[in-house]
Amino acid sequence: MTTNKRLFDIKTLLFTTSISIAYLLLSAWLVGFKTDQLWLVVIFNSCYYFSWPTRRLITGFSIFIVYWILFDYMKAFPNYLFNTVHIRDLYETEKSIFGVLVNGVKVTPNEYWLLHKYTWLDVMSGIFYLCWVPVPLLFAGYLFYKDTLAFLHFAISFLLVNLIGFVLYYIYPAAPPWYIQLHGFEFIAHTPGNSAGLLRFDQYLNIDVFGSLYSKSSNVFAAMPSLHSAYPLIVLYYARKHANVFFQVVFGVIAVGIWFSAIYNSHHYILDVAAGIICAIITIIFYRRVLMVSPICNRFTMHLYKLINTK
């Protein structure tokens, strides 16, 4: 679709500049100024004004930017201020359902793997866990150029599963397994993020990937559901429709690898992982059977589609 619209015009410049300044000011007020925020503004505006192809790309990926901003802003509203954090009860439930005996003592699967660590599993699980960000984004990039409408359905589904997960974080604040390993069952507000078992990956490779990532965690008490476990299932569902069998198998292996890694490295209970999987399934069903047939959602999707395909 072509129009006579110019890449640069006063109205567009005023709009993007206003949005950029408003975002930086709001971010500084809510969570404090960070260079990440400035980089986001620079990347967005650079892509938006560099060329028509980059404008279309950043317009489409603005859905993921919305997710990132919402996730970042959660720091301003800790979920433990709204509901009681579940620590002991979740641990005991996990142990009662999935507990295994070690020397006659029942322990959680996380505690079992804490006693049975292997370097090759440290490395492999770390590699799998690193996939939770790039795999959805790379797959989104593939869909963007292969089938723009499919890309939008995938991106909106990705945003929707996060919104569902964020709501559940506030309804049911929950401590991750590593929290109990370090602090016991006492609730300690403002507990910093921790890479837990993934620290072994960093140490083995002499890098600081996970240590750096988890130091920026928005909320420690957001273990239930595991959205890391939801993302690969969203990818796998859309890959089933838009990718060949090879990549479907690859995405399936990555999904299982992430699920195992979450438990092996004490970031999530099996219950958290199961909840994340259920969130993904609910998201897919709700989006496909409710939102996709909604006139409002259809108008929004087609509006984005036209923006992406207009030059």
80 pLDDT more than 60: yes
pLDDT value of residue 4: 52
150 pLDDT more than 70: yes
pLDDT value of residue 215: 76
Question: Could you report the per-residue pLDDT of 167-200, keeping only the tens digit for each?
Answer: 999 999 999 999 999 999 999 998 988 999 999 9
The percentage of the chain sitting over the pLDDT mark of 90, rounded to a whole number, equals: 85
Q: How confident is the model at residue 214 (pLDDT cuts 50, 70, 90)?
A: confident
The identity of residue 278, as a single letter, is: I
Going from the C-alpha of 70 to that of each of 188, 197, 198, 298, the distances in angstroms are: 24, 27, 25, 23
pLDDT value of residue 223: 95
The percentage of the chain sitting over the pLDDT mark of 70, rounded to a whole number, equals: 98
Angle at the Cα of 89 from the Cα atoms of 88 and 90, rounded to 5 degrees: 95
Q: Is the peptide bond before 134 cis (omega within 30 degrees of 0)?
A: no
Give the residue from 48, 82, 80 showing the smallest Cα distance to 62.
48
Would you put residue 111 in left (φ > 0), alpha (ψ -120 to 50) or beta? alpha
**Residue matched to tokens 């507000």:** 189
pLDDT value of residue 9: 85
Would you put residue 282 in left (φ > 0), alpha (ψ -120 to 50) or beta? alpha
pTM attached to this predicted model:
0.93
Q: Which residues contact 192 (CB under 8 A, 6 or more apart)?
A: 215, 217, 220
85 pLDDT more than 60: yes
**Residue matched to tokens 């100024």:** 33
Mean pLDDT across 283-289: 96
Q: How far apart are CA 134 and CA 138, in angstroms?
A: 6
3 pLDDT more than 90: no
pLDDT value of residue 212: 84
Paired tokens of 301: 């999707």
Q: How far apart are CA 20 and CA 40, in angstroms?
A: 9
Q: How confident is the model at residue 74 (pLDDT cuts 50, 70, 90)?
A: very high
Q: How confident is the model at residue 15 (pLDDT cuts 50, 70, 90)?
A: very high
Residue 43 or residue 7, greater confidence:
43
Average pLDDT, the chain: 93
Give the residue from 132, 71, 173, 164 showing the smallest Cα distance to 260.
132
Q: How far apart are CA 165 and CA 162, in angstroms?
A: 5
The identity of residue 241, as a single letter, is: K
Question: Could you report the per-residue pLDDT of 223-267, keeping only the tens digit for each?
Answer: 999 999 999 999 999 999 899 999 999 999 999 999 999 999 999
User: Where are the chain's structural domains?
Assistant: 78-308
